[in-house]
Each structure stands twice: as C-alpha cells, then as structure tokens.
C-alpha cells in the first residue's frame, strides 16, 4: 500500500515537472522576443530603449511628449484591466491544457 502511494507520487512529480518548466520558459521567452526586435538572439541597448520608447508612447496618449499624472493613472488602470483579462485567459487555457494532458496520458 505504501509502495503504491510512493509510485503514484513519483509518477505525478514526473508528469507535473515538464509542464511547469514549459510554462515558465514560454513566459520568459516571450518577454525576451518582445525586446529582441531584430531576432538576433540578444537584446541590445537600442532594442531595450526602443521598447521603453514604445511604452512611453503608449502612455503618452495625447502625444505631447510628456506623461501627465492623468496619463500615468490611465495606464495603470488599463494595465490592471489587461492583467485581469490575462489571468482569466490563462485560467481558461490552463483548464484546457489540463484536459489535453489527461487525453495524452490515457
């Protein structure tokens, strides 16, 4: 009985680990790709600053070259909403993946 428990626990650990690693790698990989605009595998200072400039332009909604407190606040709110959406989507995706995992195993 004890042996059986250990075996199933080991099987669970093995099947769970790659999924976790994949999720993590995917997340950081996407972040990197976003910055590495010319896709040469490194993020140069110019690429990093380009990305920062893009973020700045996104925040500066009236395009006057300055970010007002209102604009910063609006960006914060928008980001909050986006995060919420992302979390919902991620939750849905995770539930889908969970189903697929079971299909693969059986």
- Exposed e or buried b per residue across 46-85, where buried means at least 16 C-beta atoms within 10 angstroms of its C-beta: ebeeeeeeeeeeebbeeeeeebeeebeeebeeeeeeeeee
Q: Is 40 in the site for Ca ion (CB under 5 A)?
A: yes
Using the rule CB under 5 A, is 62 a contact of Ca ion? yes
Binding to Ca ion by residue 64, rule CB under 5 A? Answer: yes
- 105 scored as a contact of Ca ion (CB under 5 A): no
Minimum gap (Å) between residue 28 Cβ and Ca ion: 16
| Residue 60 binds to Ca ion (criterion: CB under 5 A) | yes
Q: Is 45 in the site for Ca ion (CB under 5 A)?
A: no
CA angle 79, 90, 8 (to 5 degrees): 145
Terminal alpha carbon distance of the chain: 23
Q: Interface with Ca ion includes 69 (CB under 5 A)?
A: no
Minimum distance from CB of 59 to Ca ion (Å)?
Answer: 8
C-alpha distances out from residue 1 to 10, 34, 73, 106, Å: 14, 50, 59, 23
Nearer to Ca ion, 36 or 74 (CB): 36
Query: Which residues make up the interface to Ca ion (CB under 5 A)?
Result: 36, 38, 40, 47, 60, 62, 64, 66
């Amino acid at each position: 009985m004890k042996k059986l428990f250990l075996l199933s626990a080991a099987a669970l650990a093995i099947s769970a680990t790659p999924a976790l690693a994949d999720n993590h790698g995917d997340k950081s990989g996407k972040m990197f790709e976003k910055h590495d605009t010319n896709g040469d595998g490194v993020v140069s200072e110019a690429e990093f600053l380009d990305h920062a400039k893009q973020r700045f332009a996104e925040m500066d909604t009236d395009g006057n070259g300055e970010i007002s407190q209102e604009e910063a606040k609006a960006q914060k709110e928008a980001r909050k909403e986006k995060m919420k959406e992302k979390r919902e989507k991620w939750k849905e995706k995770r539930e889908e993946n969970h189903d697929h995992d079971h299909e693969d195993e059986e």
